[in-house]
């Protein structure tokens, strides 16, 4: 009996050590390379990064962000969302800073004034949409320009789900008519089965190499002007605040965050990010459900 008990205790100890090692790997990657930093601005993706799996900003993280703002250190939301979708999170957060929408395609200042905009030509966009619809009829197409979101069918489950997530409301119409006055759009969001999305990604890369075409999730594909990148928002706002990218930190969990993470000195991938994103980031913090942003801030400030 004693021998069996010792064996059980040995196994338990080994499992505990393995769990502790696994849990601390991310922490080690942060602490091993970081020293206290003169960080003067923070940039953060929203979904899967700032928000936890319940789509909430953890109270302790919110408190830290507001504390930094009182010290004159802005916390900038950088998202693929449209302006109203970003502002809904900023209002819940309670801070005031510029926002970066459409993955860098549109930047608004603290008062909502446009600082930067980069769009696709409407005719090219309409042709691209027609091609996707013909080859992949089951893919749901969402078209965005400024704060307008246009779909073919607002009863489509993909659209309903996106409305729930972003708290926005899609309009139904023909994009050639709905965006005629502007003559341009900011972004396409194609949603569908991951296999269809993978096929559309390859097809559009081949046909439109000049555009920015990225997966933000396995079933989400975003298409924008080729000059659009989240790192553009970083560069524009660093200049706006008179700070260097060497004094900036950023957080993200998606492929479309990688250029932003690499544009700053302190680029953190979340532990819940895909392996490919974590490998390209300079640092890895805890997951969005473990307040990874707060943890990283505590290490560098």
Active-site amino acid positions: 45
> Which residue pairs, CB below 8 angstroms and at least 24 apart, start in 49-57?
49/251, 49/252, 49/253, 49/257, 49/270, 49/288, 49/292, 49/293, 50/77, 50/89, 50/93, 50/251, 50/288, 50/293, 51/89, 51/288, 52/288, 52/289, 53/288, 53/289, 55/165, 57/89, 57/92, 57/93
Contact (Cβ atoms closer than 8 angstroms) between residue 78 and residue 44:
yes
Find the distance separating the first CA and the last CA of the chain, reported in whole Å: 53
Q: How many angstroms separate the CA atoms of 29 and 20, rounded? A: 14
Angstrom CA distances, 33 to 12, 29, 244, 276, 286, stand at: 32, 7, 20, 20, 15
Neighbours of 272 (CB within 10 A): 18
């Amino acid at each position: 009996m004693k021998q069996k008990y010792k064996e059980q205790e040995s196994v338990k100890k080994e499992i505990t050590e393995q769990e502790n090692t696994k849990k601390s790997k991310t922490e080690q990657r942060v602490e091993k390379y970081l020293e206290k930093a003169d960080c003067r601005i923070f940039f953060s993706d929203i979904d899967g990064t700032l928000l936890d799996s319940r789509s909430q900003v953890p109270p302790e993280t919110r408190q830290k962000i507001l504390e930094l703002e009182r010290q004159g250190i802005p916390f900038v939301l950088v998202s693929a969302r449209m302006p109203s979708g970003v502002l809904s999170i900023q209002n819940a957060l309670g801070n005031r800073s510029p926002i970066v929408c459409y993955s860098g395609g549109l930047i608004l200042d603290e008062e909502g004034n446009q600082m930067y905009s980069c769009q696709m030509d409407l005719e090219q966009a309409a042709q691209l949409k027609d091609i996707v619809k013909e080859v992949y009829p089951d893919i749901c197409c969402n078209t965005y320009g400024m704060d307008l979101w246009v779909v073919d069918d607002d009863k489509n489950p993909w659209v309903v789900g996106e409305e729930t997530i972003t708290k926005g409301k899609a309009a139904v119409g023909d994009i050639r008519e709905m965006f005629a006055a502007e003559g341009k759009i900011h972004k396409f969001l194609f949603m569908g089965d991951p296999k269809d999305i993978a096929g559309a990604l390859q097809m559009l890369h081949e046909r439109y190499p000049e555009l920015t075409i990225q997966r933000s999730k396995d079933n989400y594909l975003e298409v924008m002007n080729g000059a659009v990148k989240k790192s553009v928002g970083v560069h524009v706002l660093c200049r706006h605040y008179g700070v260097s990218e060497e004094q900036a930190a950023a957080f993200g969990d998606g492929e479309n965050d990688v250029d932003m993470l690499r544009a700053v000195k302190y680029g953190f991938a979340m532990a819940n990010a895909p392996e490919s994103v974590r490998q390209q980031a300079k640092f890895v913090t805890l997951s969005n459900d473990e307040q990874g942003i707060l943890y990283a801030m505590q290490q560098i400030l």
